Chain A
Amino acid sequence: MKKFYGKIISGSQWRWLLPILAFLFVFGLCEFDGPLYPQPVVRLTRVQNERPQRQVDNFNNVDHTTQQHVSGRLLNTSRQGRLVRFSNTFSASGALDTRLRVGQSVFVQRQNGSYQLQDVKRDGVVLGLLAATLTLMALVVKRRVWLTFGSLLANVILLLITLHLETSPANQQLAYLLFSGMAVLFTLVTTVFIAGFSRQAAVIATATIGATALAVALGYGLFNLTQYRDLHIEAMNYVTQVPQLLFFVQIIIGSLGAVLDESNDIAVAVMQLPRDSKRRFKAGMAIGRNVMGPLIAVLFMIFIADTFSESILWLRNDNALTQTFIWVMGLGFAQALVSAFGIVLAVPLTAGLATVTGKGATDEHI
C-alpha cells in the first residue's frame, strides 16, 4: 500500500496534472475578457425557472419547455456593471435553445431599451480545451513538439489563405483549380514538416497526390456512371456556392491527411530496407495492408458521426429509415467511401514508388 501511494505522488507523475491546470488557467482568464468584445456580455447572477410545460407534437413526441427569468451584470460597454433582466425559454431536448445557469456569461442584444439573449459565450471552454490539448501533446511528444505545432500552424495558415482566395469574387470560376492547387500545396508543406527536403518526402508527396487524384477520378467516374442515383449533393449543409464544388473540396481535403499519414508509414519503413526490390515492395504492401483498415475507420467514423443529430431529427419527424439514410447520412458515407479509395490506392502506389526511388539505407553507407 505504501509503495503504491509513493509511486502515485512520486516526482514526475505530477506532470499529468498540467493539462488540467492549463485548462483551468485559460478558462479562468476568459472570464475576464468581456471588455474585449464589441457585443454586450452579461454574467448571470440570478436564474429563476418557471414550471416546465408539456409539449406534444403531431408525431406524439413529448417534450418539456421551461421559461427562465434571468438577471445579470453587464461586463463591458459604457453601461458596464449595470443590472439587466431578460427571459429565456429552453426545452428538454435543446435543439436550438439552452438552459442558462448562474455564473455563466452570455452575449445579449439591446433592442428598444430592453435586452435579449443572443448567444452563449463559449471562448473559455474552446480555448481552455485547446490549451489542455497542446499541453498534453507537449508532455507526450517532448522534443518533437515544435515540429508538431509548426505543422498544424502552417496548415491553419494555408487554410485561411485558401478561404480568402476562394471567396474573393474574381476567383469563382477558378475554384476547382484553386482548391486542387491548394491540396497539392497542403501536401507539400506537410511532407516537408514530416520528412524534410528528402527523397522520402518526394515519394510521400507524389504518392499522396497521385492516390488522391486517382480516388477522386474513380469516385466521379462512378457517380456519373450511376447518374448520381440516391446521391443527393444538393442536400449538402452550409451551401453558399455550387454544392458540387463544396462536395469536391470536402472529398479532397478530407482524405488528404489520412492518405499522407499512410504513405508516410509505408515510405519510412520501406526506405530503411536494403535494396532488394521484391522484398521492399512486399514489405511496403504488408505495412499498407495493416494500416489501411484503421485509417478508413477514422474517416468513416468522423464523417458518419457528424450526421447524427440531423438523422435523429429526421427519424423523430416520421421519415423512413431509408430516406434518412440517403438524404442525411448518404453524403458522409459517399465521402468516406471515396476517401477509402484513396487510402487503398496509396498502398501499392507508395510501395512501388519507394521501391524504385532511392537506394536502400545500407547502400548509402557504403
Chain B
Amino acid sequence: MPDIRLSVNGEAIEESAEARLTLADLLRERLHLTATHLGCEQGVCGACTVLVDGVPVRSCIRFAAACDGQAVQSLEGLEHDPVMEALRAAFTRHHALQCGYCTPGMLIMARDVVLRLPDADPARIRLEMSGNLCRCTGYLGIIEAIHAVILARRG
C-alpha cells in the first residue's frame, strides 16, 4: 500500500491506498469530494475530468499513486476562480445543464478552453469539448455559454 502525498484543492493530503485506487475514487470515496463524477470509467465520457498540475485529465483512468506529489484541483477547488464564476453564470443563462451529472467535467474542460483558446469560435469549441459527453442538453447551450465567456473576455 503506497503512501500517497499530494495536494488537493490546495490542501496537503496523505493517504494510504491500494495501488489500484484511481484518482477519481481517491477524491470521491476517501475525501468525499463528490463533484467529480464517474460516467464510464473507460476514459471516454469526461465526467471525471479534473486538473492535475493545472491541466485537465481523466481521473477515472489515473491511478492515485501516480499522482504522488502533484497538485489536483477538482471543481470544489475552483469555486472562486474568476473564469469558473463566469462559466457558471453563462451555463445557467444558456441552459447548459439539465441533470447536472456531466456538468463538473464540462466546466473543468470549458475553463481550459477559455484560457487556452481565447480566439475559439463555436466550431472550435465543439471540437475541443468533444471529449465531454452530455446526454441531456444537445450541447447547444454548453457551446453558447463557453463562447459567451470567451467573447466577454475579449472585451
Same complex for A and B? Answer no
